[in-house]
């Protein structure tokens, strides 16, 4: 059974790069198109698997050619697929992603079979030895997937398995009340800066952090793009810088950050080191024109850290950088 279980959407992503995003009613000329298996938790699962973690994913696909690609891609990434359900009526989720030259992306989504994910009796044994359960806010948008995600949360807590949640943009805007209600049951909350502010009712960033902690969350690891991340828990407030990279496509960067934080905490890294690892995985995912999660590996993370570690912004974080390098060195040993 897997060490880390993830629940959420399984999609096929169509990544299209444009010279410029068109005005409404206009036309955009696409330079390149790539098809990848995606979805927030799929991106996190693949990044974790590429870092050597034992991963299982729960979701639902259609019985179509898109599903065949998704299953094949997950198999290549060594992600356990035993709890992926197949819908005979509804198609696999599909997302069209338009990427601008600055790396920012706009997404158009059809969730398809994802929303019909249901809990099953097999989950009792599937969760029995897991150490971490991560799920996406998208799983809270519709039934029966909502109840399945919450059942997974209940099983995780029953089995003393730590839990993380990425609220994601649309759920944060539409279902803030539902998300806030479950925060006391979450160990690690993984919003980006905008989601955090929305969920706090428009407070400024620092007040939003305090508001979410006051709501009962144990720790917040907030993504801030080129400003790195902020990790807050108890009386600690850590502003961890970003790595110096040339951003080409941010698709999946936040999901890869989640993978770094979850992996760090699962293997016993400190919070500063887990934040560094999250920033590093997010950076690696951002430096290729296509979705960069496929490029994630231990060697690239080591190379990125060693390139940046003596720059001035990392001066107070050397011990965290060294902690991550020591862990990665142990992983690399035969």
pLDDT value of residue 289 = 62
Q: Which residues pair with 231 in a beta bridge?
A: 221, 238
- DSSP letter for 17, please: E
Q: How far is CA 238 from CA 81, 192, 321, in A?
A: 36, 15, 14
Write the pLDDT tens digit of every residue in 95-120: 988 887 776 778 888 999 999 999 99
pLDDT value of residue 178 = 93
pLDDT at 25 over 80: yes
Write the pLDDT tens digit of every residue in 169-185: 999 999 999 999 999 99
pLDDT value of residue 290 = 58
pLDDT value of residue 334 = 47
Write the pLDDT tens digit of every residue in 220-254: 999 999 999 999 999 899 999 999 998 877 778 99
More confident residue, 18 or 194: 194
Q: Which residues pair with 224 in a beta bridge?
A: none
More confident residue, 67 or 107: 67
pLDDT at 275 over 80: yes
pLDDT value of residue 16 = 86
> Contact, 158 vs 126, CB < 8 A?
no
What's the CA gap between 242 and 314, in Å, rounded?
9
pLDDT at 291 over 60: no
Among 122, 75, 94, which residue's Cα sits nearest to residue 35? 94
> Quick one: what percent of the chain has pLDDT higher than 90?
80
pLDDT value of residue 333 = 54
Query: Looking at the domain that runs over 40-60+78-86+117-332, which CATH code has it been given?
Result: 3.40.1190.20
Among 21, 11, 26, which residue's Cα sits nearest to residue 96? 11
> Contact, 178 vs 168, CB < 8 A?
no
pLDDT value of residue 236 = 96
Which residue has 């696909």 as its token pair? 61
pLDDT at 22 over 90: no
pLDDT at 292 over 80: no
pLDDT value of residue 101 = 74
pLDDT at 159 over 70: yes
H/E stretch holding 302 reads helix 298-308
What's the CA gap between 240 and 272, in Å, rounded?
8
**Rounded average pLDDT over 328-333:** 81
């Amino acid at each position: 059974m897997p060490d880390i279980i993830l629940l959420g959407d399984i999609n096929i992503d169509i990544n299209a790069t444009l010279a410029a995003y068109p005005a409404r009613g206009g036309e955009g000329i696409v330079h390149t198109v790539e098809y990848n298996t995606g979805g927030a938790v799929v991106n996190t699962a693949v990044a974790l698997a590429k870092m050597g973690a034992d991963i299982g994913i729960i979701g639902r696909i259609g019985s179509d050619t898109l599903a065949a690609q998704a299953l094949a891609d997950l198999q290549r990434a060594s992600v356990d697929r035993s709890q992926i359900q197949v819908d005979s009526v509804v198609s696999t989720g599909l997302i069209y992603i338009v990427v601008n030259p600055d790396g920012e992306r706009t997404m158009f989504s059809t969730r398809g079979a994802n929303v019909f994910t249901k809990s099953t009796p097999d989950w009792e044994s599937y969760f029995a030895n897991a150490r971490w359960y991560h799920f996406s806010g998208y799983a809270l948008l519709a039934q029966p997937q909502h109840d399945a995600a919450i059942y997974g949360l209940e099983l995780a807590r029953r089995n003393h398995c730590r839990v993380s949640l990425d609220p994601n943009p649309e759920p944060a805007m539409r279902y803030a009340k539902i998300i806030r209600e479950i925060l006391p049951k979450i160990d690690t909350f993984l919003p980006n800066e905008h989601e955090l502010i929305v969920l706090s009712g428009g407070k400024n960033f620092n007040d939003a952090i305090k508001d979410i902690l006051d709501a009962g969350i144990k720790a917040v690891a907030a993504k801030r793009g080129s400003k790195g991340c902020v990790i807050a828990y108890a009386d600690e407030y850590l502003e961890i810088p970003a790595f110096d990279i040339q951003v080409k496509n941010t698709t999946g960067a936040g999901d890869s950050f989640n993978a770094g934080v979850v992996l760090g905490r699962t293997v016993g890294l400190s919070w500063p080191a887990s934040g560094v690892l999250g920033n590093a995985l997010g950076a690696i995912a951002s430096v290729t024109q296509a979705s960069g999660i496929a490029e994630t590996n231990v060697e690239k993370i080591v190379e990125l850290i060693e390139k940046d570690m003596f720059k001035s912004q990392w001066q107070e974080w050397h011990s965290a950088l060294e902690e991550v390098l020591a862990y990665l060195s142990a992983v690399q040993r035969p």
